[in-house]
Structure formats: structure tokens, C-alpha cells
Amino acid sequence: MAVVEMQDLTKVYRPFLGGLGVLAVNQLTLDIEQGETFGLVGPNGSGKTTTIKLLLGLLYPNKGRCRLFGKKVFAMSVKERIGYMPEAPYFYDHLTGEQLLHYYASFFAMSKSRRRERVEALLSMVGMQERRKMLLRHYSRGMLQRIGLAQAMINDPELLILDEPTSGLDPIGSYQIRNLIVELKHLNKTIILCSHLLGEVETLCDRVGMLHRGNLLACGTLEELLPEAKEARVSMQVPPEAETELSAMGLSPECEEGLVSVLAPVGQLDPVLDVVRKCGGTLFEVRRSRQTLEQFFVQKVREREVVTP
């Protein structure tokens, strides 16, 4: 049984006095399995946040349904098993970081000692022990993101929904959050990661779903979406006769700043390497390229816009 099930999920935002609505999510059908890290990507206004809100029961769908752990999303037993970190979190600025975690922990059936344990563990996990007594109003953006992640984890959830977890963070902060997510993956948590940063999604996610104007453009593993290229680029330092030999093989060597590079089919790699060895040249790099997620996404969006301008 999938942890997250969405079937023909549709959401239209209608103005209060009637009129044409905005189709935010259009017949979204998607399942997310236990232990999977699923990346939900798309530009602004693509329906990512709406989808998340539908899963959390903050919005009600116009059509279709969504279930978590096989139950309705509003069920309290479901809420006990999920954690949510909103985008650019804002919390109660009269509380300290520690108090905030205790506050959110109070909604779960936890003993006081268990609550204390969890709070301690989470403060340590997100690196906020020293700032635990500081009021949230004095927290930087990065600190708020960390405490946001901590509160999402307060109940040790099976399903984590993270909306832009590294948004606004410096490189070190982003790196630390990414490491935390990797740790959570190893704990077999199911994670839904919403992000603009496609590079991050590529690094962390097992499967990716691409939304554009409420429609699911593509969904699959990175291997499925981004097959490895059938060519490789070989960079080397070789005498001119080696270039001639490479041209005779039907390849087009390019020379730049003393370095010769050639794009060769995978099947021809060995002969190319033989040429380098034979002429006593130096091999610098063999790189088998693949389309990036960003390139794939842009390509898909452009295709879509041609079909439905």
C-alpha cells in the first residue's frame, strides 16, 4: 500500500463572488511508496504548494481524492504520523526555540519525559542547542529553517513533507539540511521534498514529479527521466597525428588551449583510448554526460507550451 495516494486530484480557486476560477491542480494521480524520497518540482504557480495543502487537509479538493496511509487526510491517526515543514517558516516570536518544540510536542500523546527527550534530540540534530533559550523573533532565516525542520520531526513521523527546506540558506546551511535529509532517508522515512532547486532534488530524491500549471508533466526515477547519454567526452593531450587518426575514425576532435577533446559513442571509447596510448599522449578526462533535471524540465515545459500555449 502506498503511503500517499492521489487520484484525479483537482483544485480550483474560485473568487468569492463567482466567476472564472484558477485551476491550481488538474487531475493529479500519483502514488508515493514507503521509504521513498519524492521530489515535487515546478515553477511558481505550478500547484506544488496547493498539492501539499490538499495532502495536509488545509484545502479541500473540488474533485478526486487523496489518502495518507490508506486513510482520509483529516484523520487524527494520520496526523500523528506525519510532519510538515512549511516554506519560509514563521513561528510565534514570543517563544524560544525550546518552548516552540515543547508547544508542538504537546499536541501529541507523549509523556513529559519523552517530550523532553525528543526536544533535546531535535535541538541537537539541527544544531540549535546553544540558541535554545533565544526568542524566535531574534532568529535568523537559517535558524528558523532549522527549528522548522525540528518541529516537523517532533513526533518522529513516518511521512515528512518539506516545502523548500533549504530556501534562503547559505551554502553551509543548505549542506547541513541536505545531510539531515540524507540521514532521514537512511531511517526509511518517506519524504516529499518540494523545491525550486532542481540540483538539490537530483541529489536527494529517488523519484521526481514535475508540475506545470497544475498538470503532472512527468513522473519517474531519475534514471527513467534522465537516461544516461550514449556518448562520452574524452579530453586528452596528443600530437597532431593522433588528431588525424581520430578524424579518420569519424570523430571530430576539438582543440582548445592545447587540450584535444572528442565526443565519442560509448562503443568507440576503447579505440579512442588506444589512440591516446599508442601516440604516448595524456588522458585527462572521460565524461559520460547526461541531461540535467533542469534541462529536462525546461524541455518539457517548452513542449507543453507549444501544445497548449
- CB count in 10 Å sphere of residue 305: 11
Instruction: Kindly write out the interface string for residues 75-94 of this chain, putting x where it contacts another protein by CB under 8 A and - elsewhere.
Output: -x--xx-xxx-x--xxxx-x
Give the Cα separation of 235 and 286 in Å (integer).
Answer: 6
The yes or no reply on residue 214 touching another protein (CB under 8 A) is no
Look up residue 135 and give its DSSP letter.
Answer: B
Q: Are 194 and 38 in contact (CB under 8 A)?
A: no
Q: How far is the CB of 170 from another protein (least distance, A)?
A: 23
The yes or no reply on residue 9 touching another protein (CB under 8 A) is no
- Indicate the Cα dihedral angle 195, 4, 45, 37, nearest 10°: 10
Judged by beta carbon, residue 90 or residue 309, the one nearer another protein is 90
Query: Which of 104, 139, 296, 297 is in the footprint of another protein by CB under 8 A?
Result: 104
Burial class (CB within 10 angstroms; exposed 0-12, middle 13-18, buried 19+) of 108: middle
The yes or no reply on residue 114 touching another protein (CB under 8 A) is no
The yes or no reply on residue 103 touching another protein (CB under 8 A) is yes
The yes or no reply on residue 191 touching another protein (CB under 8 A) is no
What does the block give as the cell for 287? 565524461
Contact range with another protein by CB under 8 A, out of 26-34, 56-64, 261-269, 298-306 = 56-64
H or E element that contains 296: helix 293-307
**Residue ranges that bind another protein, judged by CB under 8 A:** 53, 56-60, 74, 76, 79-80, 82-84, 86, 89-92, 94-95, 103-104, 106-108, 151-152, 155, 161
